[in-house]
Structure 1
Amino acid sequence: MPAYLDSLLTGQARPFTRPGSLSAIDKQPRRGELKVTFLGIAGDQQGDLRVHGGAEKAIHHYPREHYAAWAAELGPHPLLEQPGAFGENFSSSGWTEADVCLGDRIRVGTALLEVSQGRMPCWKLNDRFEVAQMALRVQQSGRTGWYYRVLEEGVVEAGDAFERVARPHGQWSVARLSAVLFDKHLEPELLRECLALPLVPNWRRTLEKRLEQRQVEDWTSRLQGRDGS
């Protein structure tokens, strides 16, 4: 099924909800062509470079189809009235996490991208939506979106089509891989299968530690903030 870039969004890092926090999650649609560099879209920022941005998370893609599901669950919400609610750079129609696989190479505009990982949602979604456990709900729903690394720089603009040009790991959709990462049940053989994939370093460390320690890590800090609040 074809997919199209409905909206191209960027944001600036600003003080966020908690003391000392910064975020660029409030991304707004941009018109015209924008440069895509190895670190993301020109003019886009991230508030905490320890966990956001960088070459492995250069661009975040979130399907517009999910908005209807969220509206059905949450009820009317101002953030769901336009793209950008989840801090995405690409808002599209046509593909979801089930349609995109790890390592897929995607041509959009003149840029060549590669699917690097799914999103690991964090507490900033709770605060942005003013919905308790929103990050956990995103995680459990599988409606996380995914990230790209940039293989070839270029330009993109809203309306461009996404063209998949290579699929080296067709058995490993973002949906399937994220389901393993977010599963509280340990399946050692499945973890070993995942570790044979070209995972980004933080996902590899997480799964290696899980396999070594035979237990799933605590997600409280990521989902609720360092103080658990």
Structure 2
Amino acid sequence: MKIVSTNIGERKEINYKGTIVTTGIYKYTVDNPIFLDVEDVKGDAICDRENHGGVLQAIYGYSLKHYEYWKSVYPNVDFEMGMFGENLTIDDLDETKIHAGDTFKVGETILEATVQREPCYKLGVRFNKMSIVKKFWKTTFCGVYFKVLQTGFVKSGDEFIQIKSCPENPTIADLYVAKRILNGIS
């Protein structure tokens, strides 16, 4: 696996059903290396600290391969890297093969897979299509949150080199499906 795009965003106010809310989901590709810190990416807006950022959700990675699926579902959407709010777009990130606790050397950093991403209405706002939230739940294309064990810079082209495997733990996809069932989403 390798990084194909590094993405950060600024705070943005949006009108959601007559209420002004602030979001950081509008992330865009940057050409310079980005610094992965203990609780977030330096320079990246995180507006909802209850659900994003922090030690267990410091970095969000999403697979480039999943983009192909979503392009077939939403052919009229103008896709760009960072569209799902990810900090790292990774060529072949597979939630069905990555276990909680799996650890990777990436650029100057060491990252540990922790949990799945759960979609909220802000993904629908980003796509200008609320239907994506339910459709997102019905896949295992949730992306992976990472804990930063060693801070440092990463850039496009950096390889994800697995240095620890935890097959005794559930996969990120298993965690996502369990959460979907727990939430009664069908």
TM-score by length of 2: 0.92
**Equivalent residue number for residue 54 of structure 2:** 54
- Residue matched to 2:179: 181
Measured at CA, do residues 93 and 217 of structure 1 come closer, stay the same or move farther in structure 2, by a change above 3 Å? closer
CA distance in 2, matches of 1:171, 1:113: 16
Q: Distance in 2 between matches of 1:94 and 1:68?
A: 12
Q: Which has the higher helix share?
A: 1
Kindly indicate whether the alpha-carbon contact (under 8 Å) linking 1:59 and 1:148 is maintained by their aligned counterparts in 2: yes
Could you tell me which residue of structure 2 aligns to residue 45 of structure 1? 45
Deviates more, 1:5-14 or 1:170-179: 170-179
Give the drift of 1:113: 0.8
Alignment match, 1:65: 65
Task: State the Cα RMSD in Å.
Answer: 1.6
Identity of aligned residues (%): 25
Report the Cα distance in structure 2 between the residues aligned to 1:170 and 1:108, rounded to whole angstroms. Answer: 23
**Cα displacement (A) at 1:94:** 2.3
More strand by share: 2
How many corresponding residue pairs?
A: 183
The one-letter amino acid paired with 1:25 is I
List aligned pairs for 1:76-155, cutoff 5 A: 76-78=76-78, 80=79, 82-155=80-153
- Using structure 1 for the length normalisation, give the TM-score: 0.75
Unmatched tracts of structure 2, length 5 or more: none
Q: CA deviation at 1:136?
A: 1.4
Q: Is 2:111–2:148's contact at 8 Å kept on the other side of the alignment?
A: yes
> Contact conserved, 1:17 with 1:127, CA < 8 A, in 2?
no
* Larger Rg over CA atoms: 1
How far apart, in 2, do the equivalents of 1:181 and 1:217 lie? 6
Distance, in Å, in 2 between the alignment partners of 1:133 and 1:35 is 33
Relative to structure 1, the CA distance from residue 113 to residue 76 in structure 2 (aligned partners, 3 Å threshold; closer, same or farther) is same
How far 1:54 sits from its partner (Å)? Answer: 1.3
CA distance 1:45–1:182, shift in 2 (3 Å): same
